[in-house]
Amino acid sequence: MPVHIRSLGLQPYENTWQAMQNFTSERSDETDDQIWLVTHPPVFTQGLNGDAKHLLGPAHQNNIPIIQTDRGGQVTYHGPGQAVVYLLLDLKRAKIGVRDLVSRMENTIIDYLSTLNIDASARKEAPGVYVNGDKIASLGLKIRKQRTYHGLALNLEMDMSPFHWITPCGLEGIQMTQVADQLEDTTAVPDMDTCLTELSQILLTHLEPEISG
């Protein structure tokens, strides 16, 4: 069954979240899987079991909304210049486990970064992708009746200041980084559309043959 890739551009986080919930609630066993490519205006999102202590003082003082969402994980930040890929998949139909899916998502980002000559890796104890110990991409999923939504966020070229106002993903001592800070030539940073397109194509190769592209 084909996967439909939707390029949504810059979209408010809450609207997109609601649309993902609606899609997942209304889909049937015959509904095609979808991958949504998007960027968001500045927003902090707190995971389902997120601890408020990870929202530091400045997070409440800079007029950036804080949204309690239903994905896994702790608090993170979304903003312009961050590539976001949402996976709306039927895991039962594909016979893919959650841990396996997380690994495929991480490997997608690692493979994409390798095309930019950035050496990245994953950590079993802390989902996401890291470069020289700094976190460059975050993951968060919601599974409802073996169907997924939410996904991954790769820091491409953005204002990183808001990450200093939280404990990103609840990981004490972890610094956040972005693609722009890992390239010697900042003019080599891909534009957002190119980044999202290439990420989605690599993701499809990691989902095949279980999920047909």
Averaged pLDDT in 10-residue chunks for the chain of 213 residues: 92 97 96 97 88 72 88 90 98 94 97 97 92 96 95 97 82 87 90 98 90 62
For residues 210 and 33, give the distance between their C-alpha atoms in angstroms, rounded to a whole number.
12
The pLDDT score that the predictor gives to residue 201 is: 97
Residue 86, annotated ligand binder? Answer: no
Domain count, the chain: 1
The pLDDT score that the predictor gives to residue 173 is: 75
Residues 6+ away with beta carbon under 8 Å from 148: 24, 87, 88, 89, 91, 101, 141, 142
The pLDDT score that the predictor gives to residue 213 is: 47
Residue 153, annotated ligand binder? Answer: yes
Residue 201, annotated ligand binder? Answer: no
**Which residue in 60, 59, 63, 77 sits closest to 13, CA to CA?**
77
Q: Could you list the residue range(s) of the whole structural domain that residue 162 is in?
A: 3-207
Residue 192 lies in a domain: yes
Residue 203 lies in a domain: yes
Active site residues: 169
What is the distance of C-alpha 157 from the center of its chain? 15
Q: What is the CATH number of the domain that holds 155?
A: 3.30.930.10
Lookup: tokens for 87: 């996976």
The pLDDT score that the predictor gives to residue 32 is: 95
The pLDDT score that the predictor gives to residue 159 is: 96
Neighbours of 49 (CB within 10 A): 9
Which H helix or E strand runs over 66? strand 66-68
The pLDDT score that the predictor gives to residue 211 is: 77
Residue 140, annotated ligand binder? Answer: yes
For residues 33 and 179, give the distance between their C-alpha atoms in angstroms, rounded to a whole number.
29
Residue 212 lies in a domain: no
Residue 78, annotated ligand binder? Answer: yes
